Amino acid sequence: VPKKCQKAREHFGTVRTQMESLKTKFPADQYYRFHEHWRFVLQRLVFLAAFVVYLESETLVTREAVAEILGIEADRERGFHLDIEDYLSGVLTLASELARLAVNSVTAGDYSRPLRISTFINELDSGFRLLNLKNDSLRKRYDGLKYDVKKIEEVVYDLSIRGLNKEATVGAGGEK
């Protein structure tokens, strides 16, 4: 995994070069006029950066760190920037991928990873519940997070029923 993450980080160098080129293609004060042209790509890049950081440290990457990885600004006033909605959409995509990773980890015999993913996703869900999301695409994506939480909970439940998470439960200070 560390080698793959390093290789992915090398590819972000190409992304930074492309973003530098994109910044010069339109007037700085017309960012939102053309935003729809790169919105999906930015959301996908946020997901990829967040996934790499999660695999490396099992933490959530900040918006500022993603902007730095991509070679763009975090602040709107400074020109071409990472919009907060694009960041949040990318993070929600991360949650969906982590739900898949939890299932695949069990298949590969790693029974502790789903427990760590569950903790991470539950904290992420708690954070999103604090937001006042309107009835837009971000709200619909957030609704999908509820299903990801449920899917991961089912994996953790199955592990506990089968007694496969004893070491992880004891190590986490829990009881069987």
DSSP 32-100: HHHHHHHHHHHHHHHHHHHHHHHHHHSSPPPHHHHHHHHT-BSSGGGSSB--HHHHHHHHHHHHHHHHH
Q: Which range of residues forms the domain containing residue 100?
A: 87-165
- Predicted local confidence at residue 79, as pLDDT: 81
Which residue, 33, 52, 81, sits at the end of a domain? 81
Q: Quick one: 97 and 151 in the same domain?
A: yes
Given a cut of 70, whether residue 111 has pLDDT beyond it is yes
Residue 160: its H or E element: helix 137-162
Residue 173, in any domain of the structure: no
Asked if residue 94 belongs to a domain, the reply is yes
Count Cβ neighbours within 10 Å for each residue of 56-75 and write b for 16 or more, e otherwise. eeeeebebeebbbbbbbbbe
159 lies in the same domain as 143: yes
Mean pLDDT of 105-128: 95
Task: Tell me how many domains the chain contains.
Answer: 2
Q: What is the pLDDT of residues 24-82, one digit of tens each?
A: 888 878 888 998 999 999 999 999 999 999 999 999 999 999 999 999 999 888 888 99
82: nearest Cα among 97, 61, 96, 68: 68
**Whether residue 84 has pLDDT greater than 60:** yes
Q: Is 56 annotated as a binding residue?
A: no
Residue 173: per-residue pLDDT: 44
7-25 pLDDT, tens digit each: 999 999 999 999 999 988 8
